[in-house]
Amino acid sequence: MRVLGVDPGLTRCGIGVIEEGHRRGVNCLGVGVVRSPVEDELPQRLMTISDGVEEWIRAHEPDVVAIERVFSQQNVRSVMGTAQVSGVVALAAARRDIQVAFHTPSSVKAAISGSGRADKRQVTSMVSKVLGLSTPPKPADAADALALALCHLWRAPMTGRLAEAEQRAAELARNHQQRLRRAARDSSGTGGQQR
């Protein structure tokens, strides 16, 4: 599986591509950032990021695009820009029929370091170790993008199995309800006779 991880940001949008190798190994195929000039108007900045992300998608042809789920209660203006970038990235993937997955920052940190409260230095260090990188990816947005991709790669099999189990449970519940309705109809069809 090839995963393109995206740490959305309006000024710096982190991008990292990994691929599952032999014997559960993981290879880093590329890492970087897509930048948009602060002096540009918002629509132009979003188009710049969209063009950059589409370039990465064309070059690496990922199976999945993993994006950090945006949430914050502090800086609304910053969150709005980040959310808009997330939407642009999801749209770029959807146009190519590429699956999109969203992961919270705490779930990414927990997957990479074992703690949902890990700091950026710890995440960068673990990403470098897991991928065997001789130098840590910089800036932190790039390392975060690789962490997102790794999180998805490691959690996708479990998420898939959970979705299958939920689907099977819903199917079993429907079948059970149908049997109960049939049994109720059959018992009422006998006119409620008892021996």
**Residue set of the binding site for Mg(2+):** 7, 68, 141
Q: Would residue 68 show up in a list of annotated catalytic residues for this protein?
A: yes
Stretch (H or E) spanning 135: none
Q: Would residue 51 show up in a list of annotated catalytic residues for this protein?
A: no
Closest CA to 80 of 68, 89, 72: 72
Distance set, CA 36 to CA 14, 78, 118, 127 (Å): 12, 14, 28, 25
Closest CA to 137 of 125, 152, 151, 119: 125
Q: Choose the catalytic residue: 68, 97, 164, 166.
A: 68
Q: Choose the catalytic residue: 20, 54, 141, 171.
A: 141
Vertex 102: Cα angle to 68 and 17 (nearest 5): 65
Query: Catalytic residue positions?
Result: 7, 68, 141
